[in-house]
Amino acid sequence: MIVNIYKPVGWTSFDVVKKVKGITKEKKVGHGGTLDPFAEGVLIIGTGKDTKQLNEITNSDKSYLGVLRFGEETNTLDSEGRVVKTAPVPDISSTEIKAVFSRFIGPREQTPPMFSAKKVNGVRLYKLARKNLEIHRKPNTIHIKALDLVTSEEGQLTFAVTCSKGTYIRVLASEIARELGTVGHLIKLVRTRVGKFCIEDAMTIPEFETSWLSTVS
C-alpha cells in the first residue's frame, strides 16, 4: 500500500511511520522522503511489498510553500533554532525579489546544513550539530525547477518552489535572504507535492485510521 499522509508540525517522519505501523500492524513500513519536524504536508508512506516503490517516489521532484522571515538567521535555519546572526532588513521590492529568484533557477551546488538527517561517515549530521561540531559536507547538485513569489510583506515573504531530490529549502531560503542583502530563516514550510502526490489528496493520521479500520472491519 502507498498512502499520502499529511504530516503535522512537530512530528518526525519516523513518528508517522510508527503510527501507520501501529494502525495497520504491518511489519514493514517506510516513507518516501524525510520532512523536518517543523515542516508539514505531503509524506508518502509505503507498507509491505509496496515499500519497493519508495525509492522511485523519493527521487521525484517535490514542491513546497515556504515563509522566509528576514533579519535573523538561526543555527538550524528554521524557527526551531537559536539566533546566531542578525542584519538590518532593507526595503525590498517585489521586482527585486523576482530578479533574485530568477538567478536560482536551474542546476546549482548546495551544501547540506549541519542540522539535517544526512549521514556522513555513518553519523547523522544533526547529532554532531547538537554537540556544536561542524564538519566538511560535500555539496550536492540540485535543480530548482520553479521559484515564485506568492506574497511579500514587511519583514518576510512567502514563496513556492519546485525542486529536485536533495534540495534543502532551509538552505535555499537562507541563500535568498543573503542575495537580498540581509539574513533570514524559515518560519513555515509546507510540502505540497511529491511526484504525482498532491497535498489536496493527503490524509491526516485520524482520517487514515478511520479509512483503514473501515476496510478491515
Does 50 participate in catalysis according to the annotation? no
Measure the CA–CA gap between 119 and 18, rounded to whole angstroms: 21
Phi, psi for residue 171 in degrees, rounded to 5: -70, -45
Q: Where are the domains of the chain?
A: 2-59+195-216, 62-194
Q: Do 190 and 65 form a contact (C-beta atoms < 8 A)? A: yes
Cell numbers at 51, concatenated: 515499500
Q: Are strands 184-194 and 40-47 parallel, antiparallel or unpaired?
A: parallel
Is the pTM for the entire model greater than 0.85? yes
DSSP class of residue 129? Answer: H
Candidate list 36, 61, 148, 201, residue with the active-site label? 36
Residue 31 Cα distances to 7, 88, 169, 177, 202, angstroms: 11, 40, 19, 31, 14
Q: Do 57 and 30 form a contact (C-beta atoms < 8 A)? A: no
pLDDT at site 124? 85
Per-residue model confidence as pLDDT tens digits over 119-148: 888 888 888 888 888 888 889 999 999 999
Cell numbers at 119, concatenated: 549521514
| Mean pLDDT of all residues belonging to the chain | 94
Cell numbers at 123, concatenated: 553519523
Angle at 169 between CA 20 and CA 51, to 5 degrees: 30
Superfamily of domain covering 2-59+195-216: Pseudouridine synthase (3.30.2350.10)
Equal fold, 2-59+195-216 vs 62-194: yes
Which amino acid does the sequence have at 100?
V
Per-residue model confidence as pLDDT tens digits over 74-111: 999 999 999 999 999 999 999 999 999 999 999 999 99
pLDDT band per the 50, 70, 90 thresholds, residue 70 = very high
List Cβ neighbours of 81 (8 Å cut-off, separation of 6 or more): 74, 75, 115, 185
The domain 62-194 is placed in CATH, from the list 3.40.50.2300, 3.90.1150.10, 3.30.2350.10, 3.40.718.10, at 3.30.2350.10
pLDDT at 216 over 80: no
